[in-house]
Amino acid sequence: MTRNTHDDVVLEAQNLSKHFPLRGIGAKGAVHAVDDLNLALRSGQVLALVGESGSGKSTVARLLARLYTQTSGTVLLRGEPVTAKRGKAFRAYSRRAQMIFQDPFASLNPVHTVRYVLTRAVRIHDPRLKGPELEDALSALLTRVQLTPERFVDKFPHELSGGQRQRVVIARALAAHPEVLLADEPISMLDVSIRVGILNLLKDLRDRLGIAILYITHDIASARYFADTTYVMYAGRIVESGDSESVTQMPAHPYTQLLVRSAPDPENLARTARTGANGEPPNMVTPPAGCRFHPRCPFATELCKTTPKLLTIAPGREVACWGYAAAVPGALDGVPEGVAVPDLGSAAAPVEVSGVPR
């Protein structure tokens, strides 16, 4: 297992929330897209954020990229709160934390060649670069994303496949020497046969350049393959987190268990499809009280209508589910006697909290 220290942390979200007020005449209320989210992106590591459609994943990426301003909470870069919203400060921040979007077709302007796109990106970082030095910089970027420079540098986007375009988008992001890549479903629009190639490229950047990567996906199988840590999001909240192997092989939260069960083939990324848990996701304007999963959870009791805390069930593993409260010291403090605690039975993941083996 990777040993983490706080010095590794590049970008951090602390108690981050985003509520989108409803628009329109007489509209009241807000979409609770993200609530009280905490996570830390570490250098040389990939953190996967997994969840079904509408769970708030892209909103998290956009908050971290400062494309949205949070309703509450803090984003910290290298321990310093980030307040940049626009102008010079925003551009300086964007260079350090680069976003990669889902659609490589929309990300590149069709009238510009790869040379133009990368030259602009390189010059933002180093405005005086020209001649052979500029050529070398463009070649180095294309080589880094495994595209042969002389074959691709003068191509237009329409001459490239989806995978090649996404590689150019990644090369453009790398031109600024970012510390963080925020990749929002970077492979979901690509042909299944080339998805693994793009994930391997990102892995290579993680390992060779030490970049911290947020990898957003619907597909928990790819999180196991690619990410060091996996966070599972449901209806705007993190419900489980930990090292990817444990979260995907021994999921603790009933929602993660549903996600894992409905992933068709964890060993074969090419065959995995978009999947979700059974039942309907909740209304995010009036999300269910307490555990937001309770209307869909087979183990729910009355207690689940109050919000479960994130409980540490093993080193580096957290889960927000009342079903683990009896095994974690202090987790039932304040809960009146006689209230039924959910019994996950054989579905419960092992708890390894020191002093209370189970």
Contacts with ligand SF4 by CB under 6 A lie at: 253-254, 291, 293-294, 297, 299-300, 304, 308, 321-323, 342
Cα 269 to its chain centre, rounded Å, is 18
Compare residues 167 and 292 and give the one whose CB is closer to ligand SF4: 292
| CA nearest to 144, candidates 183, 199, 202 | 202
Compare residues 37 and 349 and give the one whose CB is closer to ligand ATP: 37
Minimal distance, residue 68 CB to ligand ATP, in Å: 7
User: Which residues make beta-bridge pairs with 81?
Assistant: 76
Minimal distance, residue 31 CB to ligand ATP, in Å: 5
Q: Which option in ligand SF4, Mg ion, ligand ATP, none does residue 287 bind, with CB closer than 5 to 8 A by kind?
A: none
138 and 153 in contact (C-beta within 8 Å)? yes
Minimal distance, residue 51 CB to ligand ATP, in Å: 6
Compare residues 68 and 322 and give the one whose CB is closer to ligand SF4: 322
Compare residues 101 and 116 and give the one whose CB is closer to ligand ATP: 101
R_g over Cα of the chain: 22
User: Which residues make beta-bridge pairs with 242?
Assistant: 230
| CA nearest to 155, candidates 117, 188, 114, 192 | 114
**Which strands sit side by side in the sheet containing 311-314, from one edge to the other?**
97-100, 180-184, 212-217, 46-50, 229-234, 237-243, 317-319, 311-314
Which residue's C-beta sits nearest to Mg ion?
58
Minimal distance, residue 60 CB to Mg ion, in Å: 9
Minimal distance, residue 115 CB to ligand SF4, in Å: 52
Which residues in the 209-238 window bind ligand ATP by CB under 6 A?
A: 218
Q: Which option in ligand ATP, Mg ion, ligand SF4, none does residue 299 bind, with CB closer than 5 to 8 A by kind?
A: ligand SF4
**Cα dihedral sign, 91-86-37-28:** negative
Q: What would the two tokens of residue 150 be? A: 């002389």
Binding site for ligand ATP (CB under 6 A): 20, 31, 33, 51, 53-59, 218, 284
